[in-house]
Structure 1
Amino acid sequence: MKTYRGRPQLGGLQHESKSLVKIISDTSGLAESISVKVRQLDLEQSRVQLAIKHVEDVQELKFCISGIQRAMEHLEYEDAARHMHKALGFDKRILEGSFAEISVPSASNPEYPTVMLANSKAKLLEIISTEFEGATQRQSEEDITRYFKLFPLLGEEQVGLDKYSQFVCAIVSGKAQASLAGPPKSPTFYADTLIRLFESVAVIIDQHQPVIEKFYGPGKMLRVIQRLQEESDTRSRKVLEAFEEEREIARKVAEIKAFREPKRTTLQSSGTIRSLTPQPGSSNMQQSSSIPEVIDPRELDINLNEMVLISQRAHLYNRFLESRAKSEVEQLKDDHAGEALLEKQKDLHNESGLLRVSGLSRKVEEVIDHYLAIEEFFLRRSVDRAMKIDEYDAGNQTSSCVDDVFYILKKTISRAVYTSNVDCLAAMINFIKNTLEMDYISGFQRNMASVFSNGDTRDARFQYMILLNNVNVSIDYLEKLTVEIEQECVSTIASLSEHSLAKAKVVLSGLTGSSSKFKRILNHGIEELYERTLKPRLRPLLQDSYKDIKYVVTDEEYAEQEALNSFVNRFMSGLDNLVDAFKSTLTDDNYNQVIANAVTTLTRTWEDIIFDTKFNKMGAIRFEKDLRAVGFYIVSLTSFPLREKLTRLNQMAMLLDLEELEDLYEIWGNNAGAITWRLTDGEVRRILRSRIDFHPEEVARLKL
């Protein structure tokens, strides 16, 4: 019944819903129709705006073209260039469009816009180029800048940069030619000329870079730097060719090589060792020479200094160019067009933007090759001469060759450092190392081997000691030289990369190998001197010092020995006489080593004597006093730490001074405390048996 009554209501709702749907549909259709009309209207409006813009652009193009012609007629090239820049900025569709081809031409200018612009641009470019060249000839900086800044407005940046490069290169060329016009008056004339060339390029880059960046944009200075490098390569080669010709470098190198090949000549030794005897004015100058005097060494020295200066300045110049060019390259990489330009240049230029193969670098490498040949000859000749005129002056510890040779070495290595060429330094260090080992130290070795050929005489000893001093001082000089040159490397060639500096230090460490060889020779020589001259006299010294001395004494005998102190006085007096000549002649290091060897022998010999000597309690006390006095004396002889060598003797005195055998346990084993026993168990028993009041059976029963 309820369902029946609700049917009329559902029917009404259905009718109303259909009506609402129809209204919404009609409204939607109307809205869509309006939207279409609006879009059409917007499209028409945008087309109208484009048309207006097109018309305005064509009118502006026409105005620019007329402005170009009018400005050129009135010689107002800046205005003409600005109009041209604006005209060239229009879209290609406008320039080549039919509307522009109809609207822009006039009775006086009937050509199409593109033709008119091309003709005007060509004419304006020609005029600006001519005016720029005229300004460069007049050296008018104002006009040069005036016309230089117009090339980018014409879209001809490369033309402008090339012309500007020609201008600055002409400046460099003119200065270089003027520098070479006069005769070479100074010893470093060509190096100075090269330096002025490099300085002129550096000044141009510094002064002109802001101008180019202002009008051409960042990174555009690279092109000018590249042209300047090419020009400086050309000019520097001419300077270096003139240097080689004027200084006759090729001839000198050829003569040097003729004497150096086919095999290396060994330098002569410094001659007979008798030249080192302490006689005023004595010399071992020989009439013959193993290295001929074909070239004045003073002239070679001058040439070498000039070569070093050339290499050093070329290195600094290349570093400067690399730094400035790399900065420009980094700026170009931020620009797509600049990156494309770099890609085109990569066959000729490296990642820094400079020439992959520099003419200057190649020529400087040739100079370095000549430098090495001459420096090696100069070094060997100088060392040879120093060894031949070697002489000894009374009061000195070494002969003259040591100071002479190391002065030469310091000069040679310093020059190699100043080249700023690590490979050159490495070559010189290797040659110096060979010269030191084959020519210098070998001369000392030959003389040391022959010095005692006529027996162990006073003069022979003296000569041998001077030779040992030469070796010892050479070691000191070599180590100091290595440190000084390392410091020079850091301060002088600080422009090198960290890798190159590290390589330089590794190269210099090669001298340490020579130092080690010198030390081995020195140690062997000191041992030979000691074994031959001092060691055979030490046992007799001790035996003579112990003459009439005994350690089994009564109280009266003890008092007598205490008063006379015979052993200590004889020993000190005897050893003083033995070592006096060593002390007055040898260097401190050599003397200390000889004394250290002597003390080693003395203590061993003394130990043997004590083992075979009998003691009572009073004698043990006497021995302890003698040992203490001798110990103080020995320690005073040298700065070496020699007290350690007396340890075994001191321990022997300690054992001999025991009151009772049982007292040993207070200083032995776990009760030893700070004492480190150097005597074996057997030696302890042996020394204790030396006490006549200690029964051997009791000594044997000791638990050690």
Structure 2
Amino acid sequence: MPESLLHSKFLSGGVPAGRKNGARKETKSEKPAKNDEFEFDFDFTRKLKELRLELEIKKREEERIEKDIAIILEENTIDGGEQNRSFGLAVTRLNNHMLLAENSAKQLTSALKNISSLADTISGRVSALDMAKTRVVGCLQLAGDMRDLGVCAEGIDDAIRSEDFETASQHIHRFLTLDQAVFQIREFKQKDATDSIRHSYEVLSSAKERLSKILKNRLTDAVSKEDVGEMQRFVKLFPMIHESEEGLKRYSVFLNAKIDKLAEDNLRIMRSGGTDDNRRNVLYADTLFMFFEGVAGIIDSNLPVLEHSYGMDNLLKFVTILQERIDEFFRQLIEEFETRRKIPHLVRQVEGRKSEESAPDALEIDAVASEICMMNQSVEMYWRFVGRRIGKYDDSPRDMAGEDDDEIDAEKIAEQQRLRKEAKEQNLDKLMNRSRVGTKIQELIGTYCLFENFYMLKSINLAIKSDDKEDAAGLTSSVIDDVVFIIRKSIRRAAGSGNVDSVGATINNATALLDTSLQDFFKKNIQSGYPSSNFASDALQSAQTAYSAYQQGKPVKDSQESQKEQFLLTLNNAAKISELLVDLQKDLVTEWSGVKRPAVEKDKLEHATTQIEDAAKRLALFAKHGVEELFRVAFKPKIRQGAEPYEDIDRQMTMQDLEYFEAHDPFIEQFLASVDRLLVEHEKILFPDNYSTLLLLTSSELARQIENVLQKCQFNRYGALQLDREYRQICAYLTNVAGWNAREKVARLGQIVALLNVETIDEAMDVWQNSKTLTTSVRTLTLPEVKKTLSLRADFPTVAIKALE
């Protein structure tokens, strides 16, 4: 066998050598050999040749691969040697640089250690210098204090003998503010070093006692003689000798005497009936105002003197001392007021009233409430005056005298100022709210709220009883103006008192009365309903009204007309008072926004005004329900009756019918004319807001009735065109009388008309899909409604309509 054949056989056969795949498998088509000995015959010679040939091929392949490896290695050896040499040189240079960097780092470390050692040495020397400087400064300060102590001791006796009390006070002030280290020296055992200091200390201590007695005696004499110049001279000296409270107490004796004199004069005038007979109803409020005005003048004229000498922190103590005499006057005034105005008796009558006869007169309560408000206003004005005059804060860090300026940081100063401010606010709040004036005026405000509520209740009930139509053409009655006037008067009176809590209580009581007394009155007039135009119902309603009037002892009038008038007046009254309350709320917000108030008071007033707005919304909703009842009785049956003839018109029309209907409208003009007559009839007797509500209800009902009769008709293309023409007439009319809001009420009808005015079913589906995207405020027709609408077209196949998805 040739070598090439063997090579092909053993390389491409896909079966490894030595596998017994040479023997053929027996098949059904082959016959067995005649001699069984040939089945196990194997040719070893041929097989050895094949293996030798295969070995030779592998050896040649190995040699070829070795040659390729040798060539590659040779090439790499030639190029790689240059690269290795370059890389080695680079590594050598890098190593040299690293050695240099290491040496430099060691030198830098050594230098830094030397610098650190020098810095520690210098820092220690600087610290020692600072300590030495501090000690030197302390010694100089101590020496200066010792010198000042000697100067003060030498000059104090001469100043007292010559009655130069200002200089003497300055010496004592300097003595009292010296460093305590000066006085500790006098305890040393070395007599030669401490005798002078001990002597000066004893001289000044004795002089301080003598000067204090002299100043007290001189100030007392000046007070008794009412010598203002001398009083102001000596009162300024007490803070210099650290006796501020003593100076304030002695000076307040003079001011308290003036306050007592002022109180006595005002009480005498008050008990004699005042100076103006026209103001007897506010006699006590005027007396309180005049008294506080006089007290403010006394304080205002004396505070500058005290502020300069005593500081702002001590002014509150001074006002607190004066407050005792003010409280005494206020006590006498309130006792006179409660006795003469019979306040306890009125309170018992208001709280325990069981009938109208036992209740006090509303005018009497009105006068007392006004006077209480004026009294509270005077108190509030006085407190604001006090707060402005003593509410300033001394931001100078004079309480830190003697400390090193470097030790006083901004945070410490700010913290001390904050604490001082909080303490002053607490003391001022205690003065305003826990004094007799503060506590008693709060009691009076509680009484005022009780009286104000009673006044509004009785006045509103009286306005309801005397309710009458304003004129023949009037849309509202007198109760509206009366109720709004009463509420506005009470709220403004409470606001004039200056007490925000009383304003909130008054508004709360006013809205409660609107929701109870006024709405109960309105509901009585609405419960009988609006009389219908049906003869049988009219007769029954007339009989009921006549019987009700007979039971109440009233004359029997034309029941139907009277009931209609009362019903419409109630609707108009509810809408009108809602509008007036909204205007009142806006006016109050505008007025109060211009007054500077604390955030808490602003929140209270804002919440109070929202109560007025909520009450207005409830009355507007009440009026809306009444208009709906009016529409249900007077409009809805007539609109339904007017729409019924529509189904009698054949809507499967021809072109000639369409042209004829354009000139001779068979339905829509007459229908709209009947609706317009209803609207015109009620336009003159309804309040504009109620009439607007009626127009929208009419628009909705008109569209609904037209839609109902459409479902009973069959249209062709010309009939749908006539329907579109009628729909446009309806839209034009409603837009003209009710505005663009009416278009939303007939938008659903517009979708139905648009679906009926299509050529094919596919076009109808496109119109429906577009209406889903364009219509946002009106509910889009559902698929069953679309199918029902398209079934009204007689020329559309029913099968295609049912197959819509």
1:499 equivalent in alignment to 2:600: yes
SS at match of 1:394: coil
Question: How well do the aligned residues superpose, as a CA RMSD in angstroms?
Answer: 4.3
1:461 equivalent in alignment to 2:564: yes
Match of 2:153 in 1: 61
Q: Structure 1 residues 326 and 152 mapped into 2: Cα distance closer, same or farther (>3 Å)? A: same
Q: Structure 1 residues 226 and 328 mapped into 2: Cα distance closer, same or farther (>3 Å)? A: farther
Q: Structure 1 residues 295 and 621 mapped into 2: Cα distance closer, same or farther (>3 Å)? A: same
Contact 1:535 1:601 (C-alpha < 8 Å) held by counterparts: yes
1:362 equivalent in alignment to 2:439: yes
Flag the structure with more relative contact order, 1 or 2, with Cα contacts below 8 A and sequence separation at least 6. 1
1:650 equivalent in alignment to 2:755: no
Cα deviation, residue 411, structure 1: 1.1
Letter in 1 for 2:568: M
CA deviation profile, 1:133-176 (whole Å, cap 9, x unmatched): 145x24x4x33322322334454332222122222233333223
Q: Structure 1 residues 148 and 56 mapped into 2: Cα distance closer, same or farther (>3 Å)? A: closer
Match of 1:634 among 727, 730, 734: 734
Cα deviation, residue 372, structure 1: 1.5
Cα deviation, residue 464, structure 1: 1.3
Match of 1:307 in 2: 372
Q: How does 1:65-104 map to 2 (within 5 A)?
A: 65-69=157-161, 71-72=162-163, 78=166
Gaps of 5+ in 1: 1-45, 105-111, 261-289
Q: How many residues align?
A: 612
Distance 1:234 1:259 in 2: 34
1:239 equivalent in alignment to 2:333: yes
Match of 2:697 among 579, 594, 597: 597
1:533 equivalent in alignment to 2:622: no
Q: How does 1:9-408 map to 2 (within 5 A)?
A: 61-69=153-161, 71-72=162-163, 78=166, 113=203, 117=207, 120-121=210-211, 123-135=213-225, 137-138=226-227, 140=228, 142-182=229-269, 183-184=273-274, 185=276, 186=279, 187-259=281-353, 291-292=356-357, 295-327=360-392, 334=399, 350-352=426-428, 354-355=430-431, 357-392=434-469, 393-408=471-486
Distance 2:629 2:572 in 1: 14
Distance 2:397 2:440 in 1: 31
Distance 1:59 1:466 in 2: 96
Contact 2:369 2:452 (C-alpha < 8 Å) held by counterparts: yes
Match of 1:424 in 2: 502
Q: Structure 1 residues 354 and 539 mapped into 2: Cα distance closer, same or farther (>3 Å)? A: closer
Cα deviation, residue 592, structure 1: 2.1
Match of 1:679 among 777, 781, 784: 781
Contact 1:68 1:81 (C-alpha < 8 Å) held by counterparts: no
Letter in 1 for 2:792: S
Q: Structure 1 residues 449 and 403 mapped into 2: Cα distance closer, same or farther (>3 Å)? A: same
In the superposition, the TM-score normalised over structure 2's length comes to: 0.67
Contact 1:398 1:466 (C-alpha < 8 Å) held by counterparts: yes
SS at match of 1:612: coil
Distance 1:319 1:53 in 2: 46
Q: Structure 1 residues 331 and 206 mapped into 2: Cα distance closer, same or farther (>3 Å)? A: farther
1:560 equivalent in alignment to 2:637: no
Distance 1:87 1:204 in 2: 35
Match of 2:514 among 433, 436, 457: 436
Distance 1:378 1:56 in 2: 74
Q: Structure 1 residues 252 and 568 mapped into 2: Cα distance closer, same or farther (>3 Å)? A: same
CA deviation profile, 1:446-498 (whole Å, cap 9, x unmatched): 22112557259344233212211111222222333333333344345x33x20
Q: Structure 1 residues 336 and 515 mapped into 2: Cα distance closer, same or farther (>3 Å)? A: farther
Q: Percent identity?
A: 27
Contact 1:191 1:306 (C-alpha < 8 Å) held by counterparts: yes
Match of 1:278 in 2: none
Cα deviation, residue 309, structure 1: 1.9
Match of 2:52 in 1: none
Q: Structure 1 residues 484 and 86 mapped into 2: Cα distance closer, same or farther (>3 Å)? A: closer
CA deviation profile, 1:43-84 (whole Å, cap 9, x unmatched): xxx9xx98x998996686355324423x25xxx655665666
Distance 1:364 1:152 in 2: 36
Match of 2:576 in 1: 473
Q: Structure 1 residues 520 and 86 mapped into 2: Cα distance closer, same or farther (>3 Å)? A: closer
Cα deviation, residue 686, structure 1: 3.8
Match of 1:613 in 2: 713
Letter in 1 for 2:289: I
Match of 1:411 among 482, 486, 489: 489
Q: Structure 1 residues 702 and 80 mapped into 2: Cα distance closer, same or farther (>3 Å)? A: closer
Distance 1:55 1:444 in 2: 93
SS at match of 2:667: helix
In the superposition, the TM-score normalised over structure 1's length comes to: 0.75
